[in-house]
Amino acid sequence: MADIQVEEKSKGGKKKPKKGDARVDMTPMVDLMSLLITFFMLTAAFSKPKVMEIVLPEKIKKDEKVEPPKIAESRTLNIILGPEDVVYWYPGKADPDVTVLQETDFSPTGIRQVLLERNRALFRKIDQFEKDVISGKIDIRQDSLRSAISQLKKDDDTGPIVLIKAYKTSKYKNFVDIIDEMSIVGIARYTFTDIDWIEEKLVVDAINRAAPVAPGSVQ
Amino acid sequence: MPKIKLGHKSPRIDMTPMVDLFTLLLTFFILTATFRPQESATVDTPFSVSEKPMMDANVMTVLIAKDNKIYFNVDNGPDTILKFRPKILAEMGKRYNIEFTADELRLFEKTGTSVGVPIQDMKKYLASRDSDEKTALEKGIPIDSVDNQLALWILFARQVNPAVQTMIKGDADVPFPVVREVLDILQDKNVNRFNLITSLRVVEVTEEITE
């Protein structure tokens, strides 16, 4: 109402229409858009989960007469995933009287050191190879670098053969972690096998040793 | 001498090109964004250093939720066009003598989420509109040897789409024996290559081995 009155009042005088500012303030629009862009960019970048590929050895069917492959005892390293993120390991073959499980964890100074120590030769070789490539000593195309490294791993016959076993109270997380550790350290040969009764007994012994207050509670 | 009056106009910047650019970017990101339906079970995946992104097509996923329930999902990606989902459900129905109507098959195709329902309850699950009711029906897919429905889902998924790749999405705190059981079922069906879905974690191996 007030607007109309004002207009009538000014009708008599010389009408000089104010030069309208045709510009629209775009700042809020820009604000909103940058917000939306940020949102969509972040969701696009982080929504894709990663996958880790593993290949398990084919199961030996009961009716087939196939011997499981023989491996050298001296190269074997057994890793047992224990309860509460503990890792047990022992070299060679399990002997209920002699073998004592070594206890370690998933920290960088834990199982990784054990594996690195055993895999030193191969790790060095890969490291040296990568350095040579960077410094230009070895001329290799970027896309065949990966296959060259996997070839190095395949040819390696001094590194450890890691057998991974899981105790019944271990978590899925431990399983992923240990396979991860294999790829970090560059272990060429590892596989996943079932835990046998000797090892189960050793794990129970180790748990009891760690907590002697309640013997027999972990069975 | 008169002072020179400076205009008090606030300096304006022409924002039109900026708005143009932003609109363009926004449109691009909206169009490329893939909207995944909310999963029926919350799964906190463990971390790994693997940088391989998950494939989009030809995927079947076995989900292992926190409460050890097993869920199953097939191709929630671009190959929905090929209509694998209804075919697989129809095969499952045939095996259990449950006749699924065309409507029910279409409904199953549309819900891109993983299913954790025993096949006997599938009709009820598809018919229900209430999300609480749906959650109540999700008891997990039976995997015991008496009624191993997960094995059948895997079998039919592989029959309908031979190129399918197996994903395992497990919660970090699932006890390992449950995962082992799932792996055993998969290996019984001659699947020996798995992709474990993980979140990315960065680890630097810079250790110089001290002698």
Query: Is residue B70's pLDDT more than 70?
Result: yes
> Can you tell me the distance from the alpha carbon of B100 to that of B88, in angstroms, rounded to the nearest whole number?
11
**Structural domain contains residue B118:** yes
**Structural domain contains residue B20:** no
Q: Do B33 and A40 make contact, defined as CB atoms within 8 angstroms?
A: yes
Query: Is residue A37's pLDDT more than 80?
Result: yes
Domain count within chain B: 1
Confidence of residue B18 (pLDDT cuts 50, 70, 90): confident
**Structural domain contains residue B40:** no
Task: Answer yes or no: are the C-beta atoms of A50 and B202 closer than 8 Å.
Answer: no
**Structural domain contains residue B89:** yes
In terms of residue numbers, what domain contains B120? 47-200
The mean per-residue pLDDT over the stretch B28-33 comes to 80
Residues within 8 A of B (CB atoms), A 93-122 only? 108, 112-113, 116-117, 120
The residues near A76 (Cβ < 8 Å, ≥ 6 apart) are A91, A92, A93, A160, A161, A162, A163
Which SS3 state, helix, strand or coil, does residue B101 take? coil
Q: Which of B21, B75, B204, B196 is nearest to A112 (CA)?
A: B204
Tens of pLDDT along B194-205? 888 877 766 655
Task: Answer yes or no: are the C-beta atoms of B170 and A172 closer than 8 Å.
Answer: yes
Better-predicted residue by pLDDT, A216 or B34: B34
> What is the separation of C-alpha A59 from the centre of its chain, rounded to a whole number of angstroms?
25
pLDDT of residue A213: 54
**Structural domain contains residue B52:** yes
Which SS3 state, helix, strand or coil, does residue A30 take? helix
pLDDT of residue A20: 64
pLDDT of residue B60: 83
> Can you tell me the distance from the alpha carbon of A162 to that of A192, in angstroms, rounded to the nearest whole number?
8
**Structural domain contains residue B41:** no
Which SS3 state, helix, strand or coil, does residue A180 take? helix
Q: How far is A138 from chain B (nearest CA, A)?
A: 22
The mean per-residue pLDDT over the stretch A44-72 comes to 70
Tens of pLDDT along B142-190? 777 777 888 888 888 888 777 788 888 888 888 888 888 888 888 887 7
Which SS3 state, helix, strand or coil, does residue B85 take? helix
pLDDT of residue A169: 81
Average pLDDT, chain A: 73
The residues near A26 (Cβ < 8 Å, ≥ 6 apart) are B15, B16, B18, B19
> Mind listing the domains of chain A with CATH numbers?
74-119+159-219 (3.30.420), 121-158 (no CATH)
Amino acid identity, position A23:
R
Confidence of residue B208 (pLDDT cuts 50, 70, 90): very low
What value, to the nearest 5°, has the Cα angle with vertex B38 and ends B94 and B56? 75
The end-to-end CA distance of chain A, in Å, is 89
**Structural domain contains residue B115:** yes
Q: What ipTM was predicted for this assembly?
A: 0.71
Confidence of residue A2 (pLDDT cuts 50, 70, 90): very low
What value, to the nearest 5°, has the Cα angle with vertex A22 and ends A21 and A28? 100
> Can you tell me the distance from the alpha carbon of B89 to that of B95, in angstroms, rounded to the nearest whole number?
10
Q: Which two tokens stand for residue B176?
A: 């390992």
Confidence of residue B75 (pLDDT cuts 50, 70, 90): low
**Structural domain contains residue B82:** yes
Which SS3 state, helix, strand or coil, does residue B27 take? helix
Tens of pLDDT along B81-137? 667 777 788 888 887 877 778 888 777 777 767 777 787 777 777 777 777 777 777
Mutate to test the interface with A, among B21, B39, B42, B50 (most CBs of A within 10 A): B50
Residues within 8 A of B (CB atoms), A 8-67 only? 23, 26-27, 29-30, 33-34, 36-37, 40-41, 43-44, 47-59
